[in-house]
Amino acid sequence: MKRRVYLVDDHPIVRQGLIKLIEQEEQLEVCGEAGSVGEALGEIRELAPDVVLVDISLEDSNGLELIKTIDDLGLQIPTLVLSMHDESLYAEHALKAGASGYVMKQAASSTLIQAIEKVLDGEIYVSKVMSSQMLKLAFRSGGEVRRSGTEALSLRELEVFELIGRGNSTREIAEQLNLSVKTIETYRAHIKDKLHLRSGTELMQKAIHWVENESHR
């Protein structure tokens, strides 16, 4: 029997490409797709796929919130994150949320298929580089990975913080996350409060420094 994959990504073109890729594999088939958490959750409960492939940035919420909900409902369906976000910044958050693996969209198609198969076999998938990095951090900190204050940020705030650190303007961030400029300004204010920063300049400097440090860990 073919193993059934459910796709959650807010870009229809991306979903179409994934469907073509996955259905080339004899042992896999796509049983459903959605662009939002609200649309996906009901179908996932009804279809009971063997694995859910989910992006982090979605229309109505954060993909990691969907992963947490699947876990909280006790559906026992493994989830694999496929995202444009840097693995070194987000893989750990995804695994803590309950995901069974993390693949960047820039990875080769063969890597994605390998990750799906590994997750279906009940294993965890991250790249070799990320696996090595996480092991080093765990040993150095006695199992507790310490972050530079960003652990206080929500997942959406962390997304905004990363995009600030990569040089994006408020309007550019709003466009990338499908949110309003006012909403991004609110997130910026919350981030400044949580990280005890006094100005937009301090926020940008902190974000740039964080992205550079995390990318080279």
**d(C-alpha 205, C-alpha 91), whole Å:** 23
Q: Which residue has the higher pLDDT, 213 or 106?
A: 106
| pLDDT over 70 (residue 134) | no
- Helix intervals (H) in the chain: 12-22, 37-47, 63-72, 87-97, 109-120, 128-140, 155-165, 170-177, 181-194, 200-215
Report the pLDDT value the prediction gives residue 35, as an integer from 0 to 100.
92
| pLDDT band per the 50, 70, 90 thresholds, residue 93 | confident
Q: What is the pLDDT of residues 6-31, one digit of tens each?
A: 999 999 999 999 999 999 999 999 99
What percent of the chain clears pLDDT 70, i.e. is strictly above it?
A: 91
Report the pLDDT value the prediction gives residue 141, as an integer from 0 to 100.
52
Task: Return all residues near 191 (Cβ < 8 A) that are at least 6 apart.
Answer: 153, 157, 160, 161, 197, 203
Residue 81: HSE in the Cβ half-sphere, 13 Å Cα cutoff:
32
The alpha carbon of 84 is separated from its chain's Cα centroid by a whole number of angstroms, namely 8
What is the reported pTM? 0.71
